[in-house]
Amino acid sequence: MTVLTKQQFVKNKKKYLSLIKKGRACIYPTDTIYGIGCDATNSKAVKHVYSLKKRKKKPLSVIAPSKKWILENCCVDAKAKKWMQKLPGKYTLIVRLKNRRAVSPFVHCGDYTLGVRIPKHWFSAVVKEYGKPIVTTSVNISGKASMTSLKDLHKTIKKQVAFIVYEGVKRAHPSIIVDCCAGKIKKRN
Protein backbone atom coordinates (compact mmCIF):
# COMPACT_ATOMS: atom_id res chain seq x y z
CA MET A 1 0.00 0.00 0.00
CA THR A 2 1.31 3.41 -1.03
CA VAL A 3 0.13 6.84 0.19
CA LEU A 4 0.22 9.43 -2.58
CA THR A 5 -0.37 13.13 -3.00
CA LYS A 6 -2.43 14.32 -5.95
CA GLN A 7 0.77 15.29 -7.74
CA GLN A 8 2.36 11.87 -7.21
CA PHE A 9 -0.80 10.13 -8.43
CA VAL A 10 -1.12 12.33 -11.53
CA LYS A 11 2.56 11.88 -12.40
CA ASN A 12 2.15 8.08 -12.41
CA LYS A 13 -1.55 7.88 -13.27
CA LYS A 14 -1.19 5.10 -15.87
CA LYS A 15 0.49 2.86 -13.30
CA TYR A 16 -2.28 3.38 -10.74
CA LEU A 17 -5.10 3.03 -13.27
CA SER A 18 -3.55 -0.26 -14.36
CA LEU A 19 -3.77 -1.47 -10.75
CA ILE A 20 -7.50 -0.64 -10.75
CA LYS A 21 -7.88 -2.41 -14.10
CA LYS A 22 -6.21 -5.49 -12.55
CA GLY A 23 -8.88 -5.56 -9.82
CA ARG A 24 -7.14 -3.75 -6.98
CA ALA A 25 -9.03 -1.57 -4.50
CA CYS A 26 -7.91 1.97 -3.67
CA ILE A 27 -8.81 4.93 -1.47
CA TYR A 28 -9.33 8.31 -3.10
CA PRO A 29 -10.62 11.78 -2.20
CA THR A 30 -13.91 13.28 -3.39
CA ASP A 31 -15.75 16.56 -2.85
CA THR A 32 -17.30 15.10 0.31
CA ILE A 33 -15.30 12.36 2.07
CA TYR A 34 -12.74 9.71 1.17
CA GLY A 35 -14.04 6.82 -0.89
CA ILE A 36 -12.90 3.26 -1.22
CA GLY A 37 -13.47 1.68 -4.57
CA CYS A 38 -12.48 -0.46 -7.49
CA ASP A 39 -13.51 -1.12 -11.08
CA ALA A 40 -17.29 -1.48 -10.79
CA THR A 41 -17.35 -3.97 -13.68
CA ASN A 42 -14.99 -6.40 -11.94
CA SER A 43 -16.99 -8.76 -9.69
CA LYS A 44 -13.95 -10.11 -7.85
CA ALA A 45 -12.80 -6.56 -7.04
CA VAL A 46 -16.29 -5.54 -5.87
CA LYS A 47 -16.48 -8.56 -3.57
CA HIS A 48 -13.10 -7.54 -2.16
CA VAL A 49 -14.46 -4.08 -1.27
CA TYR A 50 -17.39 -5.74 0.55
CA SER A 51 -14.89 -7.91 2.42
CA LEU A 52 -12.71 -4.93 3.39
CA LYS A 53 -15.71 -3.09 4.79
CA LYS A 54 -17.20 -6.23 6.38
CA ARG A 55 -20.38 -5.11 4.69
CA LYS A 56 -23.42 -7.30 4.21
CA LYS A 57 -25.13 -7.46 0.85
CA LYS A 58 -26.25 -3.88 0.28
CA PRO A 59 -25.97 -2.00 -3.03
CA LEU A 60 -22.96 0.19 -3.68
CA SER A 61 -22.73 3.45 -5.62
CA VAL A 62 -20.37 4.38 -8.43
CA ILE A 63 -18.59 7.42 -9.73
CA ALA A 64 -19.80 7.53 -13.32
CA PRO A 65 -17.31 8.42 -16.05
CA SER A 66 -19.72 11.04 -17.45
CA LYS A 67 -23.33 12.18 -17.69
CA LYS A 68 -23.37 10.51 -21.11
CA TRP A 69 -22.50 7.19 -19.44
CA ILE A 70 -25.41 7.67 -17.02
CA LEU A 71 -27.85 8.40 -19.87
CA GLU A 72 -26.62 5.41 -21.91
CA ASN A 73 -26.72 2.90 -19.05
CA CYS A 74 -29.48 4.09 -16.71
CA CYS A 75 -33.18 4.95 -16.98
CA VAL A 76 -33.32 8.70 -16.50
CA ASP A 77 -36.74 10.36 -16.55
CA ALA A 78 -37.40 14.12 -16.71
CA LYS A 79 -37.17 14.59 -12.93
CA ALA A 80 -33.91 12.67 -12.73
CA LYS A 81 -32.55 14.75 -15.63
CA LYS A 82 -33.18 17.88 -13.56
CA TRP A 83 -31.17 16.37 -10.71
CA MET A 84 -28.42 15.43 -13.16
CA GLN A 85 -27.96 19.15 -13.80
CA LYS A 86 -26.55 19.35 -10.25
CA LEU A 87 -23.73 17.02 -11.30
CA PRO A 88 -20.88 17.32 -10.76
CA GLY A 89 -21.75 17.90 -7.14
CA LYS A 90 -22.43 16.42 -3.71
CA TYR A 91 -25.31 14.21 -4.87
CA THR A 92 -25.79 10.50 -5.44
CA LEU A 93 -28.74 9.76 -7.71
CA ILE A 94 -30.44 6.38 -7.35
CA VAL A 95 -31.64 5.32 -10.81
CA ARG A 96 -32.68 2.06 -12.52
CA LEU A 97 -30.14 0.31 -14.69
CA LYS A 98 -31.03 0.15 -18.37
CA ASN A 99 -27.87 -1.76 -19.30
CA ARG A 100 -27.60 -4.58 -16.80
CA ARG A 101 -24.03 -5.28 -17.86
CA ALA A 102 -22.85 -1.74 -17.11
CA VAL A 103 -21.65 -2.83 -13.65
CA SER A 104 -21.05 -6.08 -11.80
CA PRO A 105 -24.25 -7.58 -10.33
CA PHE A 106 -22.52 -7.37 -6.95
CA VAL A 107 -22.75 -3.57 -7.17
CA HIS A 108 -26.56 -3.48 -7.40
CA CYS A 109 -27.19 -6.77 -5.54
CA GLY A 110 -29.84 -7.89 -8.01
CA ASP A 111 -32.28 -5.00 -7.64
CA TYR A 112 -30.98 -3.27 -10.80
CA THR A 113 -30.84 0.16 -9.23
CA LEU A 114 -27.62 2.10 -9.10
CA GLY A 115 -26.36 5.05 -7.11
CA VAL A 116 -24.46 7.32 -9.51
CA ARG A 117 -22.20 10.23 -8.61
CA ILE A 118 -19.94 12.67 -10.37
CA PRO A 119 -18.12 14.51 -7.59
CA LYS A 120 -17.08 18.11 -8.10
CA HIS A 121 -13.48 17.07 -7.65
CA TRP A 122 -10.41 16.40 -9.80
CA PHE A 123 -10.77 12.65 -9.22
CA SER A 124 -13.86 12.64 -11.47
CA ALA A 125 -11.60 13.44 -14.43
CA VAL A 126 -9.55 10.34 -13.53
CA VAL A 127 -12.70 8.19 -13.68
CA LYS A 128 -13.65 9.80 -17.00
CA GLU A 129 -10.21 8.95 -18.38
CA TYR A 130 -10.51 5.38 -17.03
CA GLY A 131 -13.75 5.09 -19.01
CA LYS A 132 -15.59 2.80 -16.62
CA PRO A 133 -17.41 3.41 -13.35
CA ILE A 134 -15.51 3.15 -10.07
CA VAL A 135 -17.23 1.88 -6.93
CA THR A 136 -17.61 4.64 -4.35
CA THR A 137 -18.43 3.98 -0.73
CA SER A 138 -17.18 5.45 2.52
CA VAL A 139 -13.86 4.19 3.89
CA ASN A 140 -14.84 2.37 7.05
CA ILE A 141 -15.82 -0.93 8.54
CA SER A 142 -19.60 -1.07 8.03
CA GLY A 143 -21.42 0.70 10.83
CA LYS A 144 -18.29 2.50 12.09
CA ALA A 145 -17.20 6.10 11.56
CA SER A 146 -15.91 7.06 8.12
CA MET A 147 -12.24 7.86 7.55
CA THR A 148 -11.49 11.57 7.86
CA SER A 149 -7.70 11.23 8.02
CA LEU A 150 -5.01 8.56 7.73
CA LYS A 151 -4.81 8.24 11.50
CA ASP A 152 -8.35 6.84 11.70
CA LEU A 153 -8.05 4.47 8.73
CA HIS A 154 -8.73 0.93 9.94
CA LYS A 155 -5.50 -1.08 9.73
CA THR A 156 -7.03 -4.07 7.93
CA ILE A 157 -8.34 -1.80 5.17
CA LYS A 158 -5.03 0.06 4.96
CA LYS A 159 -3.09 -3.20 4.46
CA GLN A 160 -5.34 -4.45 1.64
CA VAL A 161 -5.65 -1.50 -0.75
CA ALA A 162 -3.19 -0.89 -3.58
CA PHE A 163 -2.85 2.84 -2.91
CA ILE A 164 -4.31 5.83 -1.12
CA VAL A 165 -4.54 9.30 -2.64
CA TYR A 166 -4.48 11.56 0.40
CA GLU A 167 -5.41 15.26 0.62
CA GLY A 168 -5.33 15.74 4.37
CA VAL A 169 -8.21 15.81 6.83
CA LYS A 170 -11.74 15.87 5.35
CA ARG A 171 -14.59 17.13 7.51
CA ALA A 172 -17.45 17.04 4.99
CA HIS A 173 -20.49 14.77 5.09
CA PRO A 174 -21.30 11.96 2.65
CA SER A 175 -23.18 12.93 -0.49
CA ILE A 176 -26.91 13.63 -0.43
CA ILE A 177 -28.79 10.64 -1.79
CA VAL A 178 -31.66 11.44 -4.17
CA ASP A 179 -33.85 8.40 -4.85
CA CYS A 180 -35.18 8.81 -8.39
CA CYS A 181 -36.81 5.33 -8.42
CA ALA A 182 -39.47 5.91 -5.78
CA GLY A 183 -42.02 7.32 -8.27
CA LYS A 184 -41.27 10.74 -6.86
CA ILE A 185 -37.96 12.28 -5.99
CA LYS A 186 -37.08 11.87 -2.36
CA LYS A 187 -33.92 13.09 -0.72
CA ARG A 188 -32.33 11.04 2.00
CA ASN A 189 -29.05 11.28 3.86
Is residue 180 over pLDDT 50? yes
Distance in angstroms (rounded) separating the CA atoms of residues 180 and 144: 27
- Determine the pLDDT at residue 189: 46
Q: Write down the mean pLDDT value for the chain.
A: 94
Which residues span the domain enclosing 142?
2-188
Count other C-beta atoms under 10 Å from residue 96's C-beta: 16
Domain total for the chain? Answer: 1
Give the Å distances, CA to CA, from 85 to 41, 42, 89, 145.
25, 29, 9, 30
Tell me the average pLDDT across 37-45.
Answer: 98
- Determine the pLDDT at residue 59: 94
Distance in angstroms (rounded) separating the CA atoms of residues 49 and 168: 23
Q: What is the CATH number of the domain that holds 125?
A: 3.90.870.10
Count other C-beta atoms under 10 Å from residue 140's C-beta: 22
High-pLDDT (> 70) share of the chain, %: 96
- Please, what sign has the CA dihedral across residues 169, 150, 146, 30? positive
Distance in angstroms (rounded) separating the CA atoms of residues 178 and 175: 9
pLDDT tens figures, 132-150: 999 999 999 999 999 999 9
